[in-house]
Amino acid sequence: MDAEPELPLFPLRIVLFPGGLLTLKVFEARYLDLIANCLREHQPFGVVLLRSGGEVRQFEETIGIETTGTLAELIDVDSEQAGILHVRCRGTQRFVIRSTRQRSDGLWLALSDPVPDDDPVAPTDTLLAAARGLANAITALEARHARPFLEPYRFDDAGWVANRWCEILPITALAKQKLMELPDAIVRLQLIDEFLRKRGVVA
């Protein structure tokens, strides 16, 4: 019987959401190998939030990671200088970690289970202001030549709207993690809407 495939993990101090854009500057040997393997095998890797420890490996450092993460699918990889990769990825499906192990080179591997995608559901009437507010925010960002989101834009999808707001709001990584884990896209957007209204971003 074939062994269950292990998911390589990339612990970071940010939360990757489904549909999100992740850019990385990769220089550690373990992650250069990870990217090379993912390119060769056309496979994603898992992004998980670091609870403790650093992104760059330190001798005998203990790290703590969240048990729910998001798969990252490579979009493009550039190498402008030896030993450094500039990587763009798309967040796809969430997953829950069952167990982990660490290789001798420091790379973490996990056995994991997929988390169902958000049901495609339109924002309710009371949440349309949050969708319009996001459209306005994107227009303002693009006017400054900032494009933090991947197209196509899906303002008719509550989960997509909630996830994009989560990526740009000034809230803690732990708060973003809890929002990412919520199984109901409407509930996630309702919490975002409450935050926006309290701060006068939408009325």
* pLDDT for the residue numbered 56: 60
pLDDT band at 61 (very low <50, low <70, confident <90, very high): low
Q: Residue 190: give its domain's CATH number.
A: 1.10.4060.10
Task: Give residue 54's pLDDT.
Answer: 61
Residue 58 has pLDDT above 90, yes or no: no
DSSP state of 199: T
Within-domain flag for 1 = no
Domain range enclosing 160: 125-198
Strand partners, 88: 23, 76
Concatenated DSSP letters for 101-150?
EE-TTS-EEEEEEEPPPPP--PPPGGGHHHHHHHHHHHHHHHHTT---SP
Q: Cα(19)–Cα(197) distance, rounded to whole angstroms? A: 24
Give the residue, 70 or 105, on which the prediction is more confident.
70
Q: 29 with 73, same domain?
A: yes
Residues 148, 176 within the same domain: yes
pLDDT in tens, 127-140: 999 999 999 999 99
Where residue 57 falls among pLDDT bands split at 50, 70, 90?
low
Q: Which pLDDT tens digit goes with each residue over 168-198?
A: 999 999 999 999 999 999 999 999 999 999 9
pLDDT of residue 50: 95
> Mind listing the pLDDT tens digit for each residue in 10-29?
999 999 999 999 999 999 99
Mean pLDDT over 92-108 rounds to: 94
Domain count, the chain: 2
**What is the pLDDT, as a whole number, of residue 186?**
97
Is 60 exceeded by the pLDDT of residue 1? no
Do 15 and 106 have their domain in common? yes
Whole-angstrom distance, CA of residue 136 vs CA of residue 142: 10
Task: List the CATH number of the domain containing 74.
Answer: 2.30.130.40
